[in-house]
Amino acid sequence: MQMTFRWFGPDDDKITLGQVRQIPGVEGVVGALYDVPVGEVWPKAKIAQLKAQIEEAGMSLEVIESVNIHDDIKIGLPSRDAYIENYKETIRNLSEFGIKVICYNFMPVFDWVRTELARTLPDGSTTMAYDQSIVDTMDPEGMAASVEGDSNGYVMPGWEPERMKGLKALFAQYADVDEKKLSDNLRYFLEAIIPTCEKYDIKMAIHPDDPPRPIFGLPRIVKNFDDLKAIVEMVDSPHNALTLCTGSLGENPENDVPALIRYFAGRDRVPFAHVRNIKHLGNDNFEEAAHLSEMGSLDIYEIMKAFHDVGFDGYIRPDHGRMIWGETGRPGYGLYDRALGIAYLNGLWEAIDKASRA
């Protein structure tokens, strides 16, 4: 496996590449261009600049998270073909700079959803949490306002205030998009771009829905084993692949995360993994926990063992972390707890690896 760390760029992240470089075992940075509007082609000059910054700091840039998908593609509007052509051009441009994996999601309207961005835990740290009963009573505008108000001034990916202004109109466009239509639109997208991915050797890695269930009446098609299997079968190519996010999938207690890893990573369909722990609180509620297995509901040892057993050699990163030691910053993306997560994942991996050779 290759350990990586997500970084939001010099203007949008108060963590420096110098700090990331000092986390033992981190070889790569997972990055993106945040100033290119969704749907537009990523310019080579900007990709080159991002790559140069990261390489100057002694790390590599081989994974992009995310090149977001324009809603017209998810809705299936006639304008989608132009956006798909742009996406292909972005793939070609990224390939020139050695990018191997593009992480993306196919969630309508929103990226991940939480109802609290800073819940205080008994140890004084803060974490992100999800309460289904709040989602059931809130409307999407209320949710967007609460995310904006709680995010310490950072723009949360997928929650850009500009986009949120057009929320009502966007919801209206999704009115007749059900799960079937959304999957047909994903298939259309994949059939169009995977040949380009094969040619330029870039793997598309879809991120699961977070939480993995419908919210605000919007369809969700990346929730569980059946969904993931349907997606990898839409276009049967190793370039049509998954980002195996243990937290997102694990938010549904019915998902057996190590089994999902064994199945899909065992079939070479997982070039990228997000590993984090979450704690089930009942009634579909959960909060994000420290990576250590005993702090949450997921068995991180079994998760890493599953990756090791199938010979996983992809990119991996800790996902969200709590805010600890007084750190303030982008919710979920502080330095300290994610660095602790990396140390723990590396420790598990070394132990599992050495035990397997003994």
Ligand X SMILES: O=C(O)[C@@H](O)[C@@H](O)[C@H](O)[C@H](O)CO
d(CA 289, CA 276): 8
Q: Of 13, 72, 319, 337, which is the active-site residue? A: 319
Q: How far is the CB of 168 from ligand X (least distance, A)?
A: 23
209 binds, among ligand X, Fe ion, none (CB under 5 to 8 A by kind): none
HEC letters along 231-264 = HHHHCCCCCEEEEEEHHHHHCCCCCCHHHHHHHH
Q: How far is the CB of 9 from ligand X (least distance, A)?
A: 14
Contacts of 81 (CB under 8 A, 6+ apart): none
266-305 footprint of ligand X as x/- string (CB under 6 A): --------x-------------------------------
212-251 footprint of Fe ion as x/- string (CB under 5 A): ---------------------------------x------
103 binds, among ligand X, Fe ion, none (CB under 5 to 8 A by kind): ligand X
Q: Of 154, 263, 333, 336, which is the active-site residue? A: 333
Note whether 332 and 156 are within 8 A (CB): no
Q: How far is CA 154 from the centre of its chain?
A: 17
CA angle 330, 336, 341 (to 5 degrees): 105
95-134 footprint of ligand X as x/- string (CB under 6 A): --------xxx-----xx----------------------
d(CA 226, CA 144): 30
334 binds ligand X (CB under 6 A): no
272-291 footprint of Fe ion as x/- string (CB under 5 A): --x-----------------
- Report residue 252 as tokens: 């549904």
**Among this protein's residues, is 274 annotated catalytic?**
yes
- Edge to edge, the sheet with strand 285-289 lists 116-120, 126-130, 285-289, 277-282
- Please, which of residues 155-214 interact with ligand X by CB under 6 A? 157, 207, 210
Note whether 54 and 31 are within 8 A (CB): yes
112 binds, among Fe ion, ligand X, none (CB under 5 to 8 A by kind): ligand X
Note whether 97 and 48 are within 8 A (CB): yes
**Among this protein's residues, is 320 annotated catalytic?**
yes
90 binds, among ligand X, Fe ion, none (CB under 5 to 8 A by kind): none
d(CA 15, CA 8): 9
Q: Of 70, 239, 291, 320, which is the active-site residue? A: 320
Identity of residue 214: P
Residue 124: DSSP 8-state: S
Strand partners, 278: 288
Q: How far is the CB of 237 from ligand X (least distance, A)?
A: 20
- Please, which of residues 54-83 interact with ligand X by CB under 6 A? 65-66
The site for ligand X (CB under 6 A) is made up of 65-66, 103-105, 111-112, 157, 207, 210, 245, 274, 319, 332
Q: Which residues are catalytic?
A: 207, 245, 274, 319-320, 333
